[in-house]
Amino acid sequence: MKRVLTTCEFCGCGCNFYLGVEDGKVVAIYPSVSHPISQGRLCIKGWQGHEYIHSPERLTTPLIKKGNRFREASWDEAYELIVDKFNQIRTRYGNDSIAVFSSAKCTNEENYLMQKFARACLGTNNVDHCARLCHASTVVGLATTFGSGAMTNSINEIAGAEVIFIIGSNTTEQHPLIGDRVLRAIEKGAKVIVADPRETQLAKLCSLYLMHKPGSDVALLNGMMNAIIAEGLEDKEFIAERTEGFESLKETVADYTPEKSSAITSVPEEKIVEAARIYSRSKKSIIIYSMGITQHTTGVDNVMTTANLAMLTGNVGKEFTGVDPLRGQNNVQGACDVGALPNVFSGYQAVTDEKLRNKFEKAWKVTLPPQPGLTLVEMLNSALEGSLRAMYIMGENPMVSDPDINHVEKSLKALDFLVVQDIFLTETATLADVVLPGVSFAEKDGTFTSTERRIQRVRKAIEPLGDSKPDWKIITELSSRLGYRMDYSSPAEIMDEIAKLTPIYGGVSYSRLESFGLQWPCPSPDHPGTPYLHKGSFTRGLGKFSPADYKTPAELPSHDYPFVLTTGRVGFHYHTGTMTRKDWALEREYPTGYVEVNSQDAKQLGIKNGQTAKVISRRGEISLSLKSVDTIAKGVVFIPFHFAEAAANKLTAANLDPVAKIPEYKVCAVRLEKG
């Protein structure tokens, strides 16, 4: 048996394991004990979730749509058709009439090539990916306050913290190996505060649980800061030396007395004060947050407010202190880092900055567009309006993952031409004109960057299935045929180019990544990488307090739609389930979706546990089994979004944060009926 060390393809923890390969097939998994994050441990997806690699449903040849059906095609045919269509559309409607979705499931090298393809080959900045849907608000919010939109700590620091404040993260389910660190911290006596509208596993094990209303995060955090200032618990020295804008923060939060904060959040006053005391009295306090903070129309405000709290108490910029957005996808951090975003090149270098643009123009030997491109939801809107005519989607499934799927479907169908590159014929791929078969992580080389900014190797263990090709190879071939040559002999060579053009990745090369990678910023070949950010000074110099007032979510419960729907994931599945739902063990745990309802609400609705409920929003309706629980607030219901047959995103609204353009997945109004 051959054994290949690689990085897990599911979440942002970045665990490593060995793939056991026999007769060209992945048949076994071995955790890596020496890996700093895995330490010999894995979650169920890591142990058991790779069965999809050899699924008979894998795409193994390009497909071209003829009428309503696909026919198998050669690569030449598929490429020629794409080249023809893209050229026609560009000639007729201009460069910005085409957009690409890059993929947080794909490698850094592939994401880099995809944004280069959009910018250098197609001449548009219309490139985005699902980070828009998960942490766009983090990228903006933490860049504003700290100067860098990433997790400030290393994962291992979490186990050493004295206080961990978790808000809007179901850590043990969504980032199991980070959950491991929280559980270890608890064992060592750390105090953990959990704020979540659902009583998650950690909420049951923590010292203080705050069940706040979905979308009331700013009010809760401002309330805590009010209490901290009122009791003089702020870190005056840190504020004076390391930050600016404190007075405006003070002014804003002065209004959020525990009483007011309690009224908005429905968290008892004394708990808000207690949380404030616990968090601020420790000098080793860490904030963990995830999509409960980011996926709101106030996502950027939420993020900035967590940063304010950390700066107020001096809990950032030192070991065991910090603000930790947990990035969801295996490589969503990396996809952002290498520029799969409409406004920045790799390393968050703005496309509007002429000097930076010139640098890329020189390196890529092409003139580049100066205006930022469209964000993900804007692309879909433009498609419907008609200004966007073609899309190239790599490894994303917006027909399940994006808000308001009925709208997504209309948008994609409105396009003149749609190319989807994936490993399965997803709900999105079925709408495509051409489908290109990419490969799984086991069939290619590359790197993923984990949530702790750790750039790690993905190593090829088996040959691509059938005629499928590594995604990086497909992009280079398509680009070359479209007239912009891309010649790379290997992903390592692509990384060398990334390093040359990207200061935060400047010292990265494959030879340096052999022993479990490097954490950026790593500006030079002799730089050891950076375990935690903002030591001594913030990336932007002084940390900037950026106070925000509480704003209500965009869609509030009403007489006709009396419940708040909040969406999320379960630990056994990943995103749109294209991979995990092909695995017997994961599928056996959660074969389909459900709606979680407070038991008292369920009683009032007259729907019993296990019975079918119809959930209806202004945008759509779905039927699914009701799960009656006591772990969710009255008036709030939860639906995991993995399941296409009961797609939560038929209900959600594409209400966007005005700056980050992230949709508000965590709040929309629904009603429930007996199904």
Partner 1 sequence: MKILSKSNLVPFLEGLGLEFKVNAPLYEGQDVLFGDLDSSKLATDFIGKPRLSPKEYSFPQRERLFTFKNNGGVEIEAHLNETKRVIWGIRPCDLYGLKFLDMVYLSDYVDPYYQARRSNTILLGLNCNKAEESCFCSSIGTGPFAREAFDLLFTDLGDVFLVEIGSKAGKKLIEKQANLFTNATSKDEKQAGILEEKSKKTFKTYIDLGKVEAKIAGASSSPVWAEEAAKCILCGGCNWVCPTCYCFNIEDVTSGDKTQRVRYWDSCQLGGFTQMAAMNSRATQAERLRQRIYHKFSYNPDKYGGEIGCTGCGRCIDVCPAGINIAYILRRVAN
What is the number of residues in the chain?
675
Sheet with 518-519, side-by-side order of all strands = 446-449, 454-458, 518-519
Minimum CB–partner distance for residue 598 and partner 1 (Å): 20
Nearer to partner 1 (CB atom), residue 205 or residue 230: 205
> In Å, how far are 273, 411, 425, 602 from 616, measured between CA atoms?
38, 22, 28, 15
Q: C-beta of 9: minimal distance to partner 1 in Å?
A: 16
Q: Mask 512-531, x = binds partner 1 (CB under 8 A)?
A: ---x----------------
Contacts of 62 (CB under 8 A, 6+ apart): 72, 73, 74, 75, 77, 78, 434, 435, 436, 437, 467
User: Applying CB under 8 A, does 48 fall inside the site for partner 1?
Assistant: yes
CA-CA distances (angstroms) from residue 72 to 69, 279, 421, 436, 523? Answer: 10, 59, 14, 10, 46
* 596 is an interface residue for partner 1 by CB under 8 A: no
Binding mask of the shown chain, residues 157 to 186, with x at each position contacting partner 1 by CB under 8 A? ---------------xx--xx-xx--xx--
Other C-beta atoms within 10 Å of 673: how many? 14
Pick from 8, 11, 19, 43: which binds partner 1 (CB under 8 A)? 43
**Is residue 55 within 8 Å of 76, Cβ to Cβ?**
no
- Cβ 72 to partner 1 shortest distance, Å: 15
User: To the nearest whole angstrom, how small is the minimum distance from the Cβ of residue 190 to partner 1?
Assistant: 13
Nearest-approach distance from CB 357 to partner 1, in angstroms? 42
Q: Which residue stretch of 1-9, 95-103, 394-402, 464-472 sits at the interface with partner 1 (rule: CB under 8 A)?
A: 1-9
What is each CA distance from 156 to 367, 430, 434, 640, in whole angstroms? 44, 42, 44, 29
Query: Residues 185, 307: contact at Cβ < 8 Å?
Result: no
- Is 629 a binding residue for partner 1 by CB under 8 A? The answer is no
Nearest to 406 by CA among 647, 170, 175: 647
Cis ω before 470 (30° cut-off from 0): no
Q: Is 569 in the site for partner 1 (CB under 8 A)?
A: no
Tell me if 29 contacts partner 1 by CB under 8 A. Answer: yes
Options 28, 230, 513, 629; binder of partner 1; rule CB under 8 A: 28
34 binds partner 1 (CB under 8 A): yes
Question: Would you give the DSSP letter of residue 427?
Answer: T
314 binding partner 1? (CB under 8 A): no
Q: How many CB atoms neighbour CB 56 within 10 A?
A: 6
- Which region among 25-33, 223-231, 277-285, 431-439 touches partner 1 (by CB under 8 A)? 25-33
Give the closest residue to 49 by CA, choosing from 11, 12, 21: 11
Say whether 404 sits in a helix, a strand or coil: coil
Based on CB atoms, which residue is closest to partner 1, 173 or 235? 173
Q: Tell me: does residue 33 bind partner 1 (CB under 8 A).
A: yes
Q: Which of 21, 31, 208, 230 binds partner 1 (CB under 8 A)?
A: 31
Contact at 8 Å (CB) between 107 and 633?
no
Give the total of residues touching partner 1 (CB under 8 A): 41
Relative to beta strand 668-674, strand 612-617 is: antiparallel
Please, which of residues 191-230 interact with partner 1 by CB under 8 A?
Answer: 201, 204-205
Q: How far is the CB of 41 from partner 1 (least distance, A)?
A: 5
Which phi and psi (to 5°) does residue 121 adopt? -90, -50
Q: Which is nearer to partner 1, 299 or 577 (CB)?
A: 577
Least distance in Å: CB of 571 to partner 1?
7
**Out of 369, 571, 620, 663, which residue is the one contacting partner 1 (CB under 8 A)?**
571
> Of the two residues 60 and 623, which places its CB atom closer to partner 1 in the complex?
60
- The reply on whether position 466 binds partner 1 by CB under 8 A is no
The distance of closest approach from Cβ of residue 15 to partner 1 in the complex, given in angstroms and rounded to an integer, is 10
Q: Which residue number, 29 or 542, has a Cβ lying nearer to partner 1? A: 29
Residue 196 CB neighbour total at 10 angstroms: 26
Give the other-Cβ count within 10 Å of 500's Cβ.
11
Binding site for partner 1 (CB under 8 A): 1, 3, 5, 18, 20, 27-34, 40-44, 46-48, 56, 172-173, 176-177, 179-180, 183-184, 187, 201, 204-205, 515, 571-572, 584-585, 588-589
